[in-house]
A and B are shown apart, each in its own frame.
Chain A
Amino acid sequence: MTHQAQPTALSYREALFKAMHDAMALPNTLVFGQGVNDHKGIFGTTTGLGEKFGKNRMIEVPLAEEGVTGICIGAALNGAYPINIHIRADFVLLAMNQIINLAAKYKYMFGGLFDVPMLVRLVIGRSWGQGAQHSQSLQSLFAHIPGLRVIMPASSGAIVDSYAHAVQHHRGPVISLEHRLMYDLTFERDHEPTVLGKTPFSQRRVRKGNDVTVVSTSIMSLEARRAADWLADRGVSCDVIDLHCVSHIDANVIMESVGRTGRLLVADTSWQPYGVGAEICRIVCERDPGALKAPVVTLGMAAAPCPTAKSLEDIYYPNLTTLTDSIAKLVRGKADHGIELPHERSMADVYKRFKGPF
């Protein structure tokens, strides 16, 4: 028997397909979703798996988000590992009752009798006019709720390892927010961030540095890496931490970094009020606000629903230029920091060969 070599590079999409394939290879896995068995196969992440493993386990469902989520919970109670997929994160809002009132509480509410092992895959849309109802980044809503584990994989390795861990070892509900703009990006195995903990759900270090701590989520971790690479050539050394699991943050990782750098910038994919940036600030302020040499800076989407007009969408999201500028200002302590900035209007233009329809 020949040993099958692990590929040295996988696209985010290929990683998702591999994760779904490996999950389906286990006998108890069920996948529920609208479009899992059609020719598009959830952007190619489930294509052919219904034929290979059976459409009684790769289940095409009617539009019934709340009902299907409850069905996943019930199946999980009886020994299955359900995976429920929503091609836009926005659509899961129809299932919030089951997720928050039942899935998150089922173990606690019945004195620990039940486990609800299940994975909910949500895809964050962005760019090219996705608009107000197809582009929301809802991690804070879920991370606010005790009982939910919320992850935002920012690399192919994070997908493969975290989904395998969820399916094989984790006994509770996991909400995973995937980012549509990353689907066509290829990640090399040798350049995966370092996992800073015991499980694949742990935080990751993207780059080690001493001038400023950059805590980031999802695709903003890629932006942070690009900004850090740019700034490294110009004398600024960034410590970049990809949060990955936004619901369970290792405060020691954050405090160790801030203790070294004295400066903190948080770059999230969502709105700032009550968001990831606020949570990181809570962690620092409750432990050692004196570690900070300068006020914290946070970046996120403008505090508005997402506009479709390209001219507004370009300023709605922080881009590489604004991120680099913000880091430089923070480190130099002044607006005229004298550091050359990369020129770029829109991240979408860089990452995506993506052009509608979604």
Chain B
Amino acid sequence: MTRRCEETIVRIYPDDEMKTPMHMSMGQEAVAVGVCRALGNNGDVVASYRSHATYLAQTEDHGSFFGELHGRVNGTADGKSGSMHLADIPKGMLGSTGIVAAGIPVAVGAAFANKQNSPGRIAAAFFGDGATDEGVFWESLNVSCAMGLPMMFVCEDNDLAVHTRKSHRQGFNSLVEVVKKYRCSVYEDDTNDVESIYAMTRSAIAQIIAMGTPAFLNVKTYRYLEPCGTTMDSDAPYRRAEEDAYWKGRDCVALQRARLLANGLAEKDVVAVENEINAAILASVAAAKAAAHPTPQQLYYGVFYEAP
């Protein structure tokens, strides 16, 4: 569903009806879907500005997603937030932020509150490997480990901060080896396989609850599109042809589709589900276009806590 939503964005973005920068998840969806499925209804999530997959995996709500991208009142924030700031409190989606790494300590705070108020509930921060260059990532990791918080760090490791590789940005060879020195459990995955990520996350959750310490998940993945925008930039100088081919050869959606067929599902049944998803997404886009624009009064609503 996440992939279909983003394919829809790629198709209709040139119409210029969604006036918001797009930081696309395409290629990386297995991380969000695997982790959020494993958290189920018992997790809080804070996402990065590459928020689409995390939001859709956590909420399964493409109606308000497309409403928000169109700047309409049926969006997650009455159309006032756009693509980078998606939230849904009842579904445990505590927001996403346009400032790299800024959401990580917010998730730690949610974990702190959960430890006091909701035992067994876990908070997860999603961030890219670029965010681990920021001081606030290390501060958050340290505090979580020192305090023993029910916190899950999910590093969506695509090797790139915008266009810059880890090897040019980091003065150490393995983030995972560094994090292992902290008082937390560390997990790694490089399969791009949603079921493998799901199983790993279930183990991590069990560990967090049993030990009362955080978990750090490093999930290798690959971003198909440009850092910001909906264009495939395979020819850009920072890309590597063999890497591109390697990851597209193990596309997470294709992997899962092949598994379903191998497990005995009929092709026509898979297609039927896909068609159902596509139709629902088109209905969401149509509903977004039909929805009202926010009124001028809504400009000031929510700035302060008193009614404007």
The answer to whether A131 and B169 have CB atoms under 8 Å apart is: no
The answer to whether B101 and A63 have CB atoms under 8 Å apart is: yes
Cβ-closest chain A residue relative to B230? A357
Q: Mark A84-105, 1 if CB is under 8 A from B, else 0.
A: 0000001101100000000000
**A232 on interface, CB distance cutoff 8 Å:** no
Tell me the A residues contacting B by CB distance below 8 Å. Answer: 34-35, 38-40, 60-67, 90-91, 93-94, 128-134, 302-305, 307-313, 315-316, 355-358
The answer to whether B228 and A357 have CB atoms under 8 Å apart is: yes
Known: A309-B80, A310-B71. A357 touches B22 (CB 8 A): yes
CB contacts (< 8 Å) of A311 on chain B: these are: 71, 79, 293-294
6 A-B pairs closest in CB distance: A308-B82, A309-B71, A129-B20, A357-B229, A133-B98, A309-B79
The answer to whether B300 and A303 have CB atoms under 8 Å apart is: yes
Chain A interface, DSSP helix/strand/loop, else mixed: loop
CB contacts (< 8 Å) of B84 on chain A: these are: 131, 133-134
Tell me the B residues contacting A by CB distance below 8 Å. Answer: 16, 18-22, 71-72, 78-85, 97-101, 130-131, 133-135, 161-164, 168-170, 226, 228-229, 236-238, 293-294, 296, 298-300, 303
Cβ-closest chain A residue relative to B227? A357
> In the complex, what distance in Å separates the CA atom of A206 from the CA atom of B300?
34
CB contacts (< 8 Å) of B79 on chain A: these are: 307-309, 311-312
A-B residue pairs in contact (CB < 8 Å), sample of 7: A35-B162, A40-B163, A65-B134, A67-B135, A133-B98, A307-B80, A308-B20
Which of B78, B98, B161, B162 counts the most chain A CB atoms within 10 A? B98
The answer to whether B161 and A34 have CB atoms under 8 Å apart is: yes
> In the complex, what distance in Å separates the CA atom of A199 from the CA atom of B190?
58
Cβ-closest chain B residue relative to A127? B19
Residue in A61, A133, A303, A315 whose beta carbon sits within 8 Å of that of B99 in the complex: A133
The answer to whether A356 and B229 have CB atoms under 8 Å apart is: yes
Chain B interface, DSSP helix/strand/loop, else mixed: loop
CB contacts (< 8 Å) of A302 on chain B: these are: 299-300
> In the complex, what distance in Å separates the CA atom of A312 from the CA atom of B77?
13
The answer to whether A38 and B161 have CB atoms under 8 Å apart is: no
> In the complex, what distance in Å separates the CA atom of A94 from the CA atom of B78?
28
The answer to whether A62 and B169 have CB atoms under 8 Å apart is: yes
The answer to whether B20 and A356 have CB atoms under 8 Å apart is: yes
> In the complex, what distance in Å separates the CA atom of A128 from the CA atom of B82?
10
Give 11 A-B pairs besides A34-B161, A132-B98, A312-B296 with Cβ atoms closer than 8 angstroms: A35-B162, A38-B237, A60-B164, A63-B131, A64-B133, A128-B21, A304-B299, A310-B19, A310-B293, A315-B299, A356-B22
CB contacts (< 8 Å) of A66 on chain B: these are: 135
Cβ-closest chain A residue relative to B166? A62
Cβ-closest chain B residue relative to A304? B303
Known: A63-B134, A304-B303. A38 touches B238 (CB 8 A): yes
Cβ-closest chain A residue relative to B168? A60
Known: A38-B162, A129-B21, A357-B21. A308 touches B169 (CB 8 A): no
Cβ-closest chain A residue relative to B79? A309
